[in-house]
Homo-oligomer: A and B are copies of this chain.
Amino acid sequence: MTPRRSSRLGAVDWVDAALGLVTAEGVRGVKIARLCDELGVTKGSFYWHFADLDALWEAMATRWQEINRLRVTELHGLAEMAADARLIALSTMLISDSHLTVEKAIRDWARSNEKVAETVRNIDSEIFDVVDGTLQELAMTADQARLLAGLLVYAGIGYIHAHVGLPTPTPEDLQHARSGLILSGAD
């Protein structure tokens, strides 16, 4: 299906193909046989590049962290953008459909693989830091920022899993939530 530059494969090719499969069909779509079809090789080839399926997922998680970090710093680097608008752009990105699918799949796998779980925790705290930092620019106290950031990040993760069936919060809703907290006095 996907044509390749050289006749032989590298681990990256497998990871990319797997990430593609996840996007298209979810966790349970990632079968070694399917990947082999996609890449035009046999199963034995897979086991040359990876010890087992767990190793594949670990590589996928690591690659996903990189992709994620690139996108986030790219957004965050837009210094000319108001902190306000950056927040909205960030949440819009995190909530896009293909992003959601991959993210959920990796989190699914994290349950049975501690290394993937650790990568996921890293991704989460990277996002948390960015949100937390941006909120502090918005004239919030450090305490308020941490609290809202926590709520928002958890809400974002929740949205990843449950975005069907519950009302989707609009960017304006987030604005409301933020301005609400800003107005609140200490304690």
State the A residues within 8 Å of B (CB). 26-28, 104, 107-108, 111-112, 117, 120-121, 124-125, 128, 144, 146-148, 150-162, 164-167, 169, 173, 176-177, 179-181, 183-185, 187
Distance between A48 CB and nearest chain B CB, rounded to angstroms: 26
Tell me which residues across on chain B come within 8 A of A179, comparing CB atoms: 184
With known contacts A155-B154, A180-B184, A181-B177, A146–B167 Cβ distance under 8 A: yes
Q: Which 7 A-B pairs have the closest CB atoms?
A: A121-B165, A180-B184, A158-B158, A157-B158, A154-B158, A154-B155, A180-B181
- Interchain CB contact under 8 A, A177 and B148: yes
Contact indicator A153/B158 (Cβ below 8 Å) = yes
Q: Tell me whether A166 and B183 are in contact in the complex, defined as CB-CB below 8 angstroms, given that A28-B112, A148-B177, A176-B147 are known contacts.
A: no
B residues near A128, Cβ cutoff 8 Å: 166
Complex contacts, A125 vs chain B, CB 8 Å: 165-166
A59 to B112, CA, bound (A): 24
Q: Which residue of B lies closest to A107 (CB)?
A: B161
Interface centre among A107, A156, A162 (most CB of B within 10 A): A162
User: Are the CB atoms of B177 and A147 closer together than 8 Å?
Assistant: yes
> Which residues of chain B come closer than 8 Å to A157, judged between CB atoms?
157-159, 161-162
A180 partner, pick from B27, B162, B183, beta carbons under 8 A = B183
- Please indicate the chain B residues that have their CB under 8 angstroms from the CB of A185 in the complex: 183
A-B contact pairs, 18 of them (CB 8 A): A108-B108, A108-B111, A117-B164, A120-B162, A121-B164, A125-B165, A150-B167, A151-B151, A151-B177, A154-B156, A154-B159, A155-B155, A158-B161, A180-B180, A180-B181, A180-B183, A183-B183, A184-B184
Cα A59 to Cα B60 with chains together (Å): 33
